[in-house]
Amino acid sequence: MSQRFKIHQDNPQQRLLSQICAILRSDGVIAYPTDSTWALGCCIGHRKAEDRIRAIRKIDASHEFSLLCRDISDLANYGRLDNSAYRLLRSCTPGPYTFILNATRDVPRRLQDPKRRTVGVRVPDHKVLRSLLELHGEPLMSTSFMLPDDNLPPIDAADIVERSGNRVDAVIDAGSCGIEGTTIVDLTGELPKVVREGRGDPKPFRS
């Protein structure tokens, strides 16, 4: 069975977060709440863990992960930002948005769109998750927790443990979260383009 870590939402226990970081560094796969839906994540560059997530969700190599970053400075290491994109992100992060940006050289090729060389990045508005990212020191590869036979995403840690069994190494129990995905915004063109409406307000990206 998965290890279940009960994390205080307002004052995350560093000792427990350190244990989760150790699991990640050992090719671990974790499940965690975000400011949108529950998600699965692993370290960048850990192919074994990435393959396990693909097997859990039954997704092939064409499915793209997003990078979960602790702040805009971290995000800018992986996605190229011009001045207008930077201003937009300053006003909308942290928050339930995924931004499509042109990838930098720090992004492994397999995490990029094979044709456009873009990457999805985001800064979540979730204190426990951002504390984990700060301690971990680098982004997580992330995808929503949605199994092939699920009609709706899970809402709490008990639901995650029941659905995942022993396929996930750690579950962060830090309260429930929603069932609506992020709003996806493409910032690679001259003007922002809302690709998918989700939990984040799309109005700032529409002229």
Domain coordinates of the chain in residue numbers? 3-205
Cβ-proximal residues to 3 (8 Å cutoff; 6+ apart), any chain: 23, 169, 170, 171
Strands of the chain (E only): list them: 3-6, 30-32, 39-43, 66-68, 97-102, 118-122, 140-144, 170-173, 183-186, 193-196
69-111 tens-digit pLDDT: 999 999 999 999 999 999 999 999 999 999 999 999 999 888 8
Of 124 and 161, the one with more pLDDT: 124
pTM attached to this predicted model: 0.94
Residue 36 has what DSSP assignment?
A: S
Helix (H) or strand (E) segment spanning residue 89: helix 83-92
Cβ atoms of 144 and 181 within 8 Å: the answer is yes
Question: For residue 61, what pLDDT is reported?
Answer: 82
Compute the average pLDDT of residues 186-198: 96
Count the neighbouring beta carbons within 10 Å of the beta carbon of residue 10.
Answer: 7
CATH number for the region 3-205 comes to: 3.90.870.10
Cβ-proximal residues to 204 (8 Å cutoff; 6+ apart), any chain: 88, 91, 92
Question: For residue 110, what pLDDT is reported?
Answer: 85
Count the neighbouring beta carbons within 10 Å of the beta carbon of residue 203.
Answer: 7
Question: Quick one: CA dihedral 53, 57, 63, 66, positive or negative?
Answer: negative
CA atoms in the 13 A half-sphere facing the CB of 167: 18
Question: For residue 132, what pLDDT is reported?
Answer: 98
69-79 tens-digit pLDDT: 999 999 999 99
